[in-house]
Amino acid sequence: MAFLELEKLTKSFGSHNAVDGLTLGVEKGEFVALLGPSGCGKTTTLQMIAGFVEPTSGAIRLGGKDLLAMKPAKRGLGIVFQSYALFPHMTVAENVGFGLEMQGVAAAERRTRVGETLELVGLGAFTTRFPRQMSGGQQQRVALARALVIRPQVLLLDEPLSNLDAKLREGMQIELRQIQRTVGTTTILVTHDQAEAMALSDRIVVMNQGKAEQIGPPHEAYERPATPFVANFLGKTNLVNGATVRPERISFSTVGLAGTVRTRIFQGNHWLYQVETGSGLVTVIRQNTGEAMPGEGDGVHLAWEGRA
Amino acid sequence: MKAAPYLLCLPALVLFAGVVIVPLGMTVLLSFHDWGQYKGIEPVFILKNWQEVLGDSYFHEMFARTFRIAFFVTLLAAVFGAPEAYILNRMRSPWRGIFLLVILGPLLISVVARTLGWALLFGGNSGLVNKALMGMGLISAPLPFMFTETGIVIALAHVLMPYMVLAVWASLQRLDPQIENAAVALGAGPFTVLRRIVLPQVMPGILSGAVIVFALAASAFATPAIIGGRRLKVASTLAFDEFLNTLNWPLGAAVAMLLLAALVAIIWGTNRLVERRYAQVFA
Ligand SMILES: Nc1ncnc2c1ncn2[C@@H]1O[C@H](COP(=O)(O)OP(=O)(O)O)[C@@H](O)[C@H]1O
Ligand SMILES: [Mg+2]
């Protein structure tokens, strides 16, 4: 039996099923990502676990106990909201200490734990700042510290990095992963960014219209997508003569499917090609190794595993 | 040329000067003129009116009453208006619109009509309010509402409530929609969420609503005139009497200017307080 279990979890708004019979088991210490396009029911799922949305049917169990019978304030979960939802009238230390105060932790211990957690997220020197006086990335860390300091049974993250710019996001991904490893908290991340989900999680749940299309390790889902939706959502795919082929698996060769390069785009570490062939337009991604590559208008042959 | 913006502002400036600055200046001048029963207004410069307004205990009492009424009206409006705005903000789509209209609707009706309504409810010992209170067994003898400060406070609080509701509602709208959930997830009960999370964040809204309500209550005319009657004077009804009944315009001008100066001082002070207190937090 898994640590956190969702069983046939369903939420309807009127006649529309936002979440539709979702079943999922999360092991203790595991990092699971709910991945899917906007409106597929990720946030609704998270809010049902948190207790802010009541399921239409289904069950949620944590450590074998019925979570739905518990009030949201009693569930002891750590939540990081997309907007961070920091308390603007409280300092960083007061924000992070709020949960401990609610638990009745004495002031001295509270100070120690707040300090430790802020060190963990790299904000040891910012205790007396107000949220307004901090950058987006720093606010994000405060929100994370506020959720972690109560030593939650489960950490719920709703698009925690989507308000950061691309560079900062990558840095925070690595840091988030390290922090989660350090504290070992069972974590559920909601995101629409497949790269983020694959980079961070032990397993991903690819969701579409309230249903889980595939649950598995990122590599497995990428290599062996259960449905065309999963294949498309996790990365670029080509459909050549009824077979799906990832663009990075296709190489230029002297034999194979003949075609003409229509566009060539340089993207730093790789080249992105669109090749006109007898079986339609094929996308090809080649590593940039510094060697000369075919140019636009050149005739090429395409080869990939399982086909010469 | 950089003159264009100033030129464009000119018509508005002229209008502002014409309808605000000039009459205000003339009123200030007027307050220093002399007046006699038979000689009328004499355009001389004397301090008689100001000495009378600042020195006479009759005026002290009247100004104290004016600001006491304004204070309790503000208190009442905050105590009822802030929760009202909070409840309104939590309502769902069709109801929110309907109740907003119910709350703001009175603004569309003349103050005089609304106050006359209260006069009817309060009126005499057999007024509806007293009948209802006695019927519920809350009081044994009728309470005097007409011609009392209590009556003025209740009627004014009702008349001015929408301004408080609007000010608080505006600050509630700026709240992060997830902020209450964030506090709940950390283990806070409903009362703690209100006291520790919501109230501190809408405090600037309550204060700005209080400034508006206080200023309007202290300078209100129709309601104190109708409910307070001829004996229970406040600054604006007194100034009105000096102008139109006694015809002592200079004295009326001094009363009006003192009210204005006191209000400006109070509003300015409150603003300074709010700005200093909340600059860091809600920049
Ligand atoms: N309170 C609500 N009332 C009605 N429909 C809702 C409500 N919350 C969410 N939905 C609908 O449920 C679906 C899933 O929403 P959500 O869980 O927020 O998606 P995601 O987080 O994956 O973008 C959407 O179609 C959304 O419009
Ligand atoms: Mg969402």
Among chain A residues, CA nearest to B198: A87
CB atoms B176 and A83 under 8 Å: yes
Beta bridge pairs of residue A259: A277, A300
Domain stops at, among A229, A260, A276: A229
A39 Cα: distance to centroid of ligand 1 (angstroms): 6
How distant is the Cα of A238 from the closest Cα of chain B, in angstroms? 41
Of A89, A98, A133, the CB nearest to B186: A98
Same domain, A148 and A31: yes
Q: Mean of the pLDDT values across residues B3-25?
A: 91
Q: A77, A102, A133: which to substitute to probe chain B, counting the most B Cβ within 10 Å?
A: A102
pLDDT, tens only, B206-241:
999 999 999 999 999 999 999 998 889 999 999 999
How distant is the Cα of B195 from the closest Cα of chain A, in angstroms? 12
pLDDT above 90 (res A13): yes
How distant is the Cα of A71 from the closest Cα of chain B, in angstroms? 9
Give the percent of chain B with pLDDT over 90: 63
Q: B93, B175, B180, B186: which to substitute to probe chain A, counting the most A Cβ within 10 Å?
A: B186
Tokens linked to B282: 């809600």
pLDDT above 90 (res A53): yes
pLDDT band of residue A305 (cuts 50, 70, 90) is: confident
Of A73, A78, A89, the CB nearest to B188: A73
Determine which helix (DSSP H) or strand (DSSP E) holds B6, and give its type and residue range.
helix B3-16
Domain stops at, among A213, A229, A245: A229
| Coil/strand/helix, residue B93 | helix
Strands (E), A179-306: 186-191, 203-208, 211-216, 238-240, 243-245, 251-253, 257-266, 270-277, 280-287, 299-303
Any ligand 1 atom below 6 A from CB of A55 = no
Q: Any CB–CB contact under 8 A between B170 and chain A?
A: no
Residue A303: C-alpha distances to residues A180, A240, A241, A300, B269 (Å): 41, 12, 13, 10, 79
CB-based contacts of B120: which residues, under 8 Å, 6+ apart?
A: B127, B128
Among chain B residues, CA nearest to A98: B186
Same domain, A265 and A283: yes
Same domain, A181 and A282: no
Which residues on B lie below 8 Å from A72 (Cβ)? 181, 184-185
Residue pointed to by tokens 């005139």: B225
Distance CA B283, CA B261 (A): 29
Same domain, A214 and A257: no
Of A75, A81, A130, the CB nearest to B182: A81
Same domain, A167 and A185: yes
Range of A37's domain? 4-229
pLDDT, tens only, A76-108:
999 999 999 999 999 999 999 999 999 999 999
pLDDT above 70 (res B65): yes
Among chain B residues, CA nearest to A52: B181
B238, HSE (Cβ side, Cα atoms, 13 Å)? 26
Choose among B92, B77, B123: nearest CA to A13: B92
Tokens linked to B263: 């209000």
Tokens linked to B138: 């809350």
CB-based contacts of B129: which residues, under 8 Å, 6+ apart?
A: B121, B122, B145
- DSSP code for A157: E
CB-based contacts of A217: which residues, under 8 Å, 6+ apart?
A: A202, A203, A204
A269 Cα: distance to centroid of ligand 1 (angstroms): 38
- pLDDT for the residue numbered A138: 94
Same domain, A125 and A242: no
pLDDT above 60 (res B283): no
Total residue count of chain B as it appears in this document: 283
Give the percent of chain A with pLDDT over 70: 99
> Where exactly are the structural domains of chain B?
61-255
pLDDT, tens only, A265-275:
999 899 999 99
Tokens linked to A200: 């961070």
Domain stops at, among A229, A252, A275: A229
User: Are the C-beta atoms of residues A25 and A4 closer than 8 Å to each other?
Assistant: yes
Among chain A residues, CA nearest to B278: A89
Any ligand 1 atom below 6 A from CB of A48 = no
Region of A51 (left: φ > 0; alpha: ψ -120 to 50; beta: rest) is left
Pocket test for ligand 1, best of A40, A81, A191, A207 (most atoms within 8 A of CB): A40
Atom of ligand 1 nearest to the CA of A47: 17
| Coil/strand/helix, residue B37 | coil
Q: What is the CA radius of gyration of chain A?
A: 23
Residue pointed to by tokens 């030129």: B7
Residue A238: C-alpha distances to residues A173, A261, A275, A280, B189 (Å): 29, 15, 11, 10, 54
Same domain, A205 and A98: yes
Among chain B residues, CA nearest to A49: B185
Atom of ligand 1 nearest to the CA of A159: 21
pLDDT above 60 (res A240): yes
The CATH number of the domain where A67 resides is what?
3.40.50.300
Of B177, B181, B201, the CB nearest to A88: B201
Strands A154-158 and A78-80 turn out to be: parallel
Closest residue by Cα to atom 24, ligand 1, is A39
pLDDT band of residue A308 (cuts 50, 70, 90) is: very low
Greater confidence (A11 vs B102) lies with A11
pLDDT band of residue B125 (cuts 50, 70, 90) is: low
Same domain, A109 and A194: yes
Of B182, B185, B281, the CB nearest to A89: B281
Residues B26, B28, B29, B31, CA torsion sign: positive
Distance CA A3, CA A62 (A): 6
Q: Which ligand gives the minimal distance to the CA of A38? A: 1
Q: What is the ipTM of this complex?
A: 0.86
Let me know if residue A101 belongs to a domain.
Answer: yes
Same domain, A110 and A131: yes
- pLDDT for the residue numbered B276: 85
Let me know if residue A93 belongs to a domain.
Answer: yes
Angle, CA of B60, B66 and B72, to the nearest 5°: 130
pLDDT band of residue B260 (cuts 50, 70, 90) is: very high
Q: A52, A89, A190: which to substitute to probe chain B, counting the most B Cβ within 10 Å?
A: A89
pLDDT above 90 (res B165): yes
A79 Cα: distance to centroid of ligand 2 (angstroms): 14
Same domain, A271 and A294: yes
Q: Any CB–CB contact under 8 A between B37 and chain A?
A: no
Same domain, A202 and A256: no
| Coil/strand/helix, residue A75 | coil
pLDDT, tens only, A188-223:
999 999 999 999 999 999 999 999 999 999 999 999
Closest residue by Cα to atom 26, ligand 1, is A39
pLDDT band of residue A307 (cuts 50, 70, 90) is: low
CB-based contacts of A232: which residues, under 8 Å, 6+ apart?
A: none
pLDDT band of residue A48 (cuts 50, 70, 90) is: very high
Give the percent of chain A with pLDDT over 90: 81
pLDDT band of residue B1 (cuts 50, 70, 90) is: low
Label residue A229 exposed, middle or buried (CB < 10 Å: 0-12, 13-18, 19+): middle
Same domain, A24 and A117: yes
- Structural domains counted in chain A: 2
CB atoms A150 and B187 under 8 Å: yes
User: Are the C-beta atoms of residues A197 and A177 closer than 8 Å to each other?
Assistant: no
- pLDDT for the residue numbered A131: 94
What B19-25 contacts at long range (C-beta under 8 Å, 24+ apart), as own/partner pairs, is none
Which residues on B lie below 8 Å from A103 (Cβ)? 187
Question: For the domain bounded by B61-255, which CATH number is listed?
Answer: 1.10.3720.10
Determine which helix (DSSP H) or strand (DSSP E) holds A142, and give its type and residue range.
helix A136-148
A53 Cα: distance to centroid of ligand 2 (angstroms): 13
pLDDT above 70 (res B282): no
Let me know if residue A308 belongs to a domain.
Answer: no
pLDDT above 80 (res B281): no
Beta bridge pairs of residue A61: A5, A66
